[in-house]
A and B are shown apart, each in its own frame.
Chain A
Amino acid sequence: MCGIVGLFLKDKSLEPKLGAMLSDMLVIMTDRGPDSAGIAIYGAPSDGRAKITVQSAKPATDFAGLGELLKPADASVTVELKSTHAVIEADAAQAAAVRDLLASERPEIRVMGSGDSVEIYKEVGLPKDVVSRFGIREMGGTHGIGHTRMATESAVTTLGAHPFSTGADQCLVHNGSLSNHNNLRRELVREGMTFETQNDSEVAAAYLTAEMAKGKDLGQALTSALDDLDGFFTFVVGTKSGFGVVRDPIACKPAVMAETDQYIAFGSEYRALVNLPGIEDARVWEPEPATVYFWDHEKAA
């Protein structure tokens, strides 16, 4: 089943509340999937700095002295610990060196996502526990997506939780199941993509990353996905400044959207949207099958 939510803010005055609004939306969706939960938050990027969100099954040992350990790659590196996750900030020019050093010194640490603005938090457990463990409610940002999982295609693990991030500042949440993911994964591996799991949704994320690497924008990549992905899907996708939604042509996985002057919101059900400000007067609609919807902060500006 799974529950997915997304929120793309137009009104800057709501930005400090993004984490709280998105957390409420996700917690309401808890009964659509109790296995794991995750949220990606796009905060304000700071010039020349890169963010890497990492996770460890043994944070006490893996995160001990991490800041000092990474200093040789970038003297300005900072590490903020959040339960099983940590957000590493470094000079963007040195980010690759930091990741290399991290991989060689602490190979157990997994990268959840990286980029200029995205932070990704996901764990096994209920949405209410996951959002409080990582302090999501206190986070601000411009847009974000969330997922609560009822596992069907791969194991219930932290790495199998959504969102999946396969490119800088990109992430995806999925409700559904893909039927051609094994073949597509093989093709993407040949193109140089790497995979952390056997999960079908990770393949969808990697597919979009590969298409955007060829020069497509998010909308164009989602349009290609309709031809190349087989199976059931409602996807909500985030990029550094963009937010997209697409459903397969059968469209049996539920989706509701709402738009006001202040935001664009997505929920698996209307219940997820009822606490949003001004929802009574919002334009509320069900996204059409096989139709790409996307918005971009940069293009809107």
Chain B
Amino acid sequence: MDLSVKRESLEAMRVFDLATMPLRELNRALHNIAPGANDTNFEVVNPRGSHSVAVGIDQPVTVEVRGSVGYYCAGMNDGGAVTVHGSAGPGVAENMMSGTVVIEGDASQYAGATGRGGLLVIKGNAASRCGISMKGIDIVVHGNIGHMSAFMGQSGHLVVLGDAGDALGDSLYEAKLFVRGEVKSLGADCIEKELRSEHIEKLAELLAKAGITDVKPTEFKRYGSARKLYNFNIDNADAY
């Protein structure tokens, strides 16, 4: 980037100090951006675990959050680029539509839940239920993920550089799961599948997007749905 342009964009950065301003002011400002506006760089200081920081973004803004956030940060994000320079509480980037959310620290449970698009990058670990009911979002976790992750995942990709907890991909639909480390156990109807060339290509693309250069796509195993729970099986009638 040209330095003079960079200076200009820094000067235009709007800073919201949550120690002195109500959260409502930040979120209202984020919601009142007209399409095509150029005052789209935001910085949030002293988040101190606040809930619902930068939810409902629907324009291509950038938000730098200096510290850790509580529940539902960047929920419903549609086109924004949100970076949390800290850790995130439960439900970060839940139901994301598009855009990018980067968590420099750890994420609590159900990160990226029900996300329909965009990219969520977690540089630390994610807790339980990461990507639960994901519907098109791509999630890249540098560390480990907890139990019941990608439960009922319908589409999108979950890439984990570390280990996965119990019951990965339980009742999975067509979300594609890639784990580089150990999987403690697979959930019902989730099986290991062949890592084919198209998967390697997709993995390379996602790793590049997440800024990861020292990990090869071939180091991952792929997990997906066995598709045995899709339809009622008359042989199981006795179980009901």
Q: Which residue of A lies closest to B90 (CB)?
A: A254
Q: Which residues of B contact A271 (CB under 8 A)?
A: 48-50, 70
Q: Which residue of A lies closest to B68 (CB)?
A: A270
- Decide if A274 touches B106 in the complex (CB within 8 Å): no
The residues of A with any CB-CB pair to B shorter than 8 Å are 249, 251-252, 254, 256, 269-274, 284-286, 288-289
Q: Which residues of A contact B71 (CB under 8 A)?
A: 269
Partner of B128, one of A251, A274, A285: A251
B131 to chain A, nearest CB (A): 16
Nearest 9 pairs of A and B residues by beta carbon: A271-B49, A270-B49, A274-B48, A286-B127, A270-B68, A269-B70, A274-B49, A251-B128, A271-B70
Supplied contacts A251-B128, A286-B127, A289-B147, 6 more A-B pairs, CB within 8 Å: A254-B109, A269-B70, A271-B48, A286-B108, A288-B146, A289-B146
Q: How large is the interface on B (under 10, 10 to 19, 20 to 34, 35 or more residues)?
A: 10 to 19
Decide if B89 is an interface residue (CB 8 Å cutoff).
Answer: yes
B37 to chain A, nearest CB (A): 32
Q: Which residues of B contact A289 (CB under 8 A)?
A: 128, 146-147
Decide if B40 is an interface residue (CB 8 Å cutoff).
Answer: no
The residues of B with any CB-CB pair to A shorter than 8 Å are 48-50, 68, 70-71, 87, 89-90, 106, 108-109, 127-128, 146-147
Q: Which residues of A contact B87 (CB under 8 A)?
A: 270, 284
Partner of A269, one of B89, B109, B127, B146: B89
A286 to B68, CA, bound (A): 14
- A269-B89, A270-B70, A271-B70 as given contacts; A286 in contact with B49, CB under 8 Å: no
Q: Which residues of A contact B90 (CB under 8 A)?
A: 254
Q: Which residues of A contact B146 (CB under 8 A)?
A: 251, 288-289
Q: Which residues of A contact B68 (CB under 8 A)?
A: 270, 284
A284 to B88, CA, bound (A): 12
Q: Which residues of A contact B147 (CB under 8 A)?
A: 249, 251, 289
